[in-house]
Amino acid sequence: MAFAESQNPLRVHRIPQSRYIDAVRWLSPVSPSDRFAAIAYFDADTNSPSIEIAYVDPNPQSSSPTLTPQSSWTSPSRISEGGTECVSVGEDGRVNLVSFVGDSSKLSYRRIFDANGLVGYTAVKWASPSEFATGGYGFGIQWWDQRTPGGPVLQFKGNWCQGKTSGIVHSIDIHPSRKHTCLAGGSSGTVFAWDRRAAQQPIVLSGAGTGEAPNSLLSESEVWEVQYDRYTRRSNISNISSTRILPVMICSEDGILAVIEQGEEPLELLAEPCAINSFDIDQQNPSNVICSLEWESLAILTRS
């Protein structure tokens, strides 16, 4: 597969860290000039995870931005934001909901579902205050609605992927204006979308099911994260058909950060010698992207 060349200048700054980075997210700014990031660390020496809030200084007097730690806290498990509620999933097949009650100093815990180990979940994403999607083994996706208890209200089975039913969904994204479509990334470089209006027929953007030769694929390794790219074509999103998948950014185990558009050549932004474990697109300024690299460092990209 040929990569399209970026028509816009791309600035990349790498910031070494002293600990392994599991994930990174931009935070909503408190003022137009301030930028903060939440960084999930893992300290191998003490076997302990933590989440740190850092101030990102663009530092115009220097050649690269700097990070200034503001606060830190011991992290629980993987969560997906949903206002005052957190939904967590596990490979043991349990789906749990933790709610903040009262003055937010107390937590209320509720188990939504328990598959008793028969099914495992590896990714979760809120779609609305009452709906969320999960992903797991076999490239399967489940749609849940808390108003209809007892299990998922709709399921997508991964029997389309040419024998790669051992594949795992690592990441899910749902665009607020396209709630009918679940975007997923997982094993073997696979990126696909499930339009809930089209039953069991996926829209494969990369990897298994595309029919491409292995040496033509964007990536053959694990796709750790997928997000809709609001920077690309963000000005005319309303003109794109609801059946067409919006531009997608992905990162992978083999060090690729790229943008995929349906029917177009992928646009490679980074090709690192190590895995890119996670990334986040700045919601306030989508030209800015922050990435966590396997080799204990962060990368901040600016597209212009």
Q: What is the mean pLDDT of the chain?
A: 84
What was the pLDDT predicted at 51? Answer: 86
Q: What six digits make up the tokens of 226? A: 């997928």
- Measured distance CA(113)–CA(211) in Å, rounded: 36
DSSP secondary structure string, 211-224?
Answer: ---GGGSS-SS-EE
- Measured distance CA(272)–CA(239) in Å, rounded: 35
- Measured distance CA(154)–CA(255) in Å, rounded: 34
Provide the residue ranges of all domains of the chain, joining segments of one domain with +.
Answer: 78-269
CA 120 to chain centre: 19
Query: What confidence tens digit (pLDDT) does each residue in 51-109 have?
Result: 899 999 876 556 678 888 888 876 554 445 545 788 899 999 999 998 876 655 677 88
Of residues 243 and 56, the one with the higher pLDDT is 56
What was the pLDDT predicted at 123? Answer: 95
The reply to whether CATH 3.40.50.2020 applies to domain 78-269 is no
Of residues 134 and 264, the one with the higher pLDDT is 134
Strand partners, 226: 250
- Measured distance CA(125)–CA(133) in Å, rounded: 5
Of residues 201 and 162, the one with the higher pLDDT is 201
Return the sign of the alpha-carbon dihedral for residues 101, 104, 107, 111: positive
Q: What six digits make up the tokens of 146? A: 């808390």
| Mean pLDDT on 112-134 | 93
Q: What percent of the chain has pLDDT over 70?
A: 80
Of residues 14 and 163, the one with the higher pLDDT is 14
Q: How many residues does the chain have?
A: 304
Instruction: Choose among 138, 156, 144, 83: nearest CA to 111.
Output: 144
Of residues 46 and 8, the one with the higher pLDDT is 46
- Measured distance CA(89)–CA(96) in Å, rounded: 6
| Mean pLDDT on 206-215 | 61
